[in-house]
A and B are shown apart, each in its own frame.
Chain A
Amino acid sequence: MSASWSFADAIFYFIALLTVVCGAYAVASRNIVRAVFSLLGTFLGVAGLYAMLSADFVAVVQIMVYVGGILVLLIFAVMLTSRIEKAGRSNPAARPLAASLGVLCGLASLVLLASLALLAPWKQTAAGDFAPTTAPLGEALLAEALLPFELLSVVLLGVVIGAVIIARRDPEVGG
């Protein structure tokens, strides 16, 4: 707790900067391909922040699901829906009035949330040591969280069937 930065602090600020800058580029870029690829930095940065919060299992799941799954899905959607010669202006903003109202909403909520985060008297306990969370998480998922866990598998089944039906090539034939 010295006044100088420790090594862990430097890592935190580096990861936080990576996360926010990549997220800002994903929002601001006019090229949807670049926006999607810049999300890679955001997802990896959030995984790093999870690891710094001692949530090792969630960090690995974040990399596997977001980087390995959702990002690939987004890239597929971009490749299937936009022509490559128009990629440079594939991500237009709304009309100027609507866009400035949107940015204003974002800034207002940022001021609100940041001042809330910094000023509210959060009740904090000292963070414990780093400990693996996988084994207790597995026990929790098969004990007190068993019902939501099983419901989630039903939800996933419904999502897979629904996505196949929605994206089917010819809804009239055989529907």
Chain B
Amino acid sequence: MIHVGLQHFLVVAALLFCLGLTCVLVRRNAVAILIGIELILNAAGLNLIAFARFGGDLLSGTVFVVFLIVLAAAEAVVGLALIIAVHRRLRDIDLERSDELRG
């Protein structure tokens, strides 16, 4: 029925992962780095569901992705709390200038 197969979804997930990796490596704003991590986690979830769908066991992939989404939410909450704490202390969330701990 559907003409698109496993590889189409894998390529989309690969694109998302590489966008997220580039974002983490290039950006200096801490919120932008969290955005990159969210993109990477979305790519991982898409891969899990695609393999589960075309591998014949959709249910286990679904369980994995539900756990992944919960952990991504937990990561975002802790990350943003850290960003707010750093901003309160240093008045800045630029990661190249937040180097108070540098020896």
Contacts and interface: CB of A to CB of B under 8 A. Distances in A.
Interface of A: 1, 5-6, 8-9, 12, 16, 19-20, 23-24, 26-27, 32, 35-36, 39, 42-43, 46, 49-50, 52-55, 57-58, 61-62, 65-66, 69-70, 73-74, 76-78, 80-82, 90-94, 98-99, 101-103, 105-107, 109-110, 113-114, 117-118, 122-125, 127-128, 133, 136-137, 140-141, 145, 148, 152, 155-156, 159-160, 162-164, 166-167, 169
Given A16-B12, A50-B49, A156-B74, A92 B62 contact: no
Contact of A70 (B8, B12, B73, B82): B73
A23 B19 contact: yes
B32 A109 contact: no
A94 B16 contact: no
A53 B27 contact: no
Nearest to B91: A81
Interface of B: 1-12, 14-23, 25-29, 31-32, 34-36, 38-39, 42, 45-46, 49-50, 52-56, 58-63, 65-67, 69-74, 76-78, 80-85, 87-88, 93-94, 96
Nearest to B15: A20
Nearest to B28: A92
Given A5-B3, A122-B7, A109 B81 contact: no
Nearest to B72: A70
Binding site secondary structure of chain B = helix
Contacts of B87: 80-81
Given A106-B25, A114-B11, A23 B16 contact: yes
B39 A54 contact: no
Give me the 5 closest cross-chain CB pairs, A-B, nearest first. A102-B25, A106-B22, A117-B10, A113-B14, A110-B18
Contacts of B69: 58, 61-62, 65-66
